[in-house]
Structure formats: C-alpha cells, structure tokens
Amino acid sequence: MPLNFNLDTIRSTEFGVGRDDEDEGSFSLIPVDGDVQDALREMAAETWDAMSDNEDPEEYQPSEKYASQEYVYTPTESEMVARLRNLHRANNLTLDTTALEEPGDVSCYFARFSDARGRRLTAVRRATQFKGLLKSRNKLIRLIEDTLQIVEDNTFKLDRDFDLLIDSTIIHILRPSGFEFIAKLQEVIREAVPDNIASIQEDMPYVDFASIQEYASGHTRAARLLASIRSLRETHNISQRLLRNACRTYGLEVRVRNGQITIPAGSEMTFLDILDRRMYELELVEGAPEQYKAGSRRRVGTQAR
C-alpha cells in the first residue's frame, strides 16, 4: 500500500504533544531546533521502512487480536478515528512552550511534515519511552568542561519510530495497541454502540437487538465485536434461515417473538461471535464434528455453491 507522501522531499517539520488534561484531550505544538527535526524525519522514515515489509496489509478491525507490531490500516474517514483525523487536518494548533511543564499529562507526541507538493503527513507515538527518563532524571549525568554533572532538568527521549502515520486517505498503523490508546478507541467504541446497533438493525430487521445493545453498553469486548460487524458491511445479505441454523449448531436456542429473533440472556457473546464469523466447525473424524471459536479472523476463501 503506497504512502501518499514523499519522505524524500520534506520541506517543513512541526513537533507537538497530546495531553489528557481535558475530556477530549488537547494537542499543541512546541518549537524544536533543526537537530530534533532531523531526528523526527528519521523516525518517520524508519516507521515506513518497517511497514514496507508488508505490501498488502489488512484493514484494522476492533475485534481482532494483533501482534505488538503488525502493519494494518484504517481509512482516515473512519468514524472511529475522529481524534486523529482532527489532529491531521488542524491548521490552527496552539503553539505552547509550556506544554511539557507537566510531563505526566502527556499521552503522546507527534510530528507533522509537509512535502514538496504541499501534502501533509502526521506521525504519532504513544509517550512511554518519551517520558521514561523523567523518573530517573536525577541519576543522569553529562560531561561539561571535563566534569561530570547531574542533569537537573527534565530529559525526554525520542523513540526509534512512530506507532502510526496519517496521510490524506489512510492511517497506516505499525502498532495497533498504540493506535488504540492514542485514538482513545475503547471510549469511542463504547459510545458508538447505539449507532452500530442501529446500522446493523437496518440490515437485519428480523433480529431484536435490544438485549445486545444493553449488554454491549457495559462490556467492551461486545462493543468491539459490534464495531467490527458494522465495519465489515456484510450484514445486509445474511440469511435469516441460515442464521437460525448457525445459532442451533453452536448451542444458541433463539426464539422468534413478534416476528423477530430474540437472543436469550447469557448468549449475547455467542451471537455476536457468529455475526463476526468467529465460530467454525471441522469434522476430521467421521461422525465427530468439532466446534471452535477463532481468536483471530482471517478469511482464506469462499466456496461457491
């Protein structure tokens, strides 16, 4: 997947931090010198080099379990990433030279680049190592005029690369956990439960989703499954008959009330796993079918009938 930006023709570099000092968090810019700008450009290049090893990344799904470093992507227009999209497109970020006076409030740091064609690239990293030296700053020493001295000031350390890169159309994600933290995805997904239910309900009017909505509003894993089911955009062609058959296959005894399938209490997750294509059955020993739930969903093909 190409990057809609030329890392070899960077014309300007901005640096800033994100803080959790408000409900939505805030982003502000901090002036940096040429050496720091060079380091940020090197970090962006290192990030893209790591991503370039995989030319065909999969789209990020909230219900998936990813490795600590795994290249996936999501569209910049996705409803889940408004916080990152706003950062990337903002033209009036505040210049705040005091932004690092309370390092504990810093949740992430970012760089924004522009290339020779005026395109923008935003690179973001969760602030873990960046703040790591603060805890031990009184033990840091430096050589000044042939004498070792304690470093009294706050000392920050840049990472080797970024967690994600944002261009005009795609958020390229190198570390899914960092992406989820920076985008505040858990909160976003929980808040989106009613909208996700409403969207799925339009495709499946023959299912009563009231109990699912109530359950998912209090359970993050269920909310993640709902977000993935909606993003797959495959609920419009689900057969009611085959859905009921699948439920029976996996021990979910649904009932029909007022023309709608109702989900019994305690079976919400099984039903969502079915909709998210996580339940499967194998029969390798004749007469002994085996049922499993996939921890990670990867489609390997579809057999036509």
Domain boundaries, the chain: 7-188, 192-293
129-133 CB contacts, 8 Å cutoff, 24+ apart: 129/157, 129/158, 129/159, 130/106, 130/156, 130/157, 130/158, 130/159, 131/103, 131/104, 131/106, 131/156, 132/157, 133/157
Residue 278: pLDDT over 90: no
Q: How many residues does the chain have?
A: 305
d(CA 212, CA 218): 10
Residue 129: pLDDT over 80: no
Q: CB 188: neighbour CB atoms within 10 A?
A: 18
- The tokens for 210 are 């009231």
- For residue 243, which of 273, 222, 288, 210 has the smallest C-alpha distance? 273
pLDDT tens digits along 177-220: 999 999 999 999 999 999 999 999 999 999 999 999 999 999 99
What is the predicted pLDDT for the residue at 297? 66
Find the mean pLDDT for residues 260-282.
86
Whole-prediction pTM value?
A: 0.83
Find the mean pLDDT for residues 58-78.
93
Under 8 Å between Cβ of 88 and 80: no
Residue 85: pLDDT over 80: yes
Q: How confident is the model at residue 131 (pLDDT cuts 50, 70, 90)?
A: low
Under 8 Å between Cβ of 28 and 143: no
What is the predicted pLDDT for the residue at 18? 92
Identify the residue with better confidence: 130 or 215.
215
pLDDT tens digits along 152-180: 666 677 889 999 999 999 999 999 999 99
What is the predicted pLDDT for the residue at 103? 77
What is the predicted pLDDT for the residue at 8? 96
Find the mean pLDDT for residues 134-155.
57
Most confident of the ranges 46-50, 149-153, 240-244 = 46-50
Residue 137: pLDDT over 50: no
> In one letter, which amino acid is 243?
L
> In one letter, which amino acid is 265?
A
The owner of tokens 């910049």 is 76
Identify the residue with better confidence: 73 or 232.
73
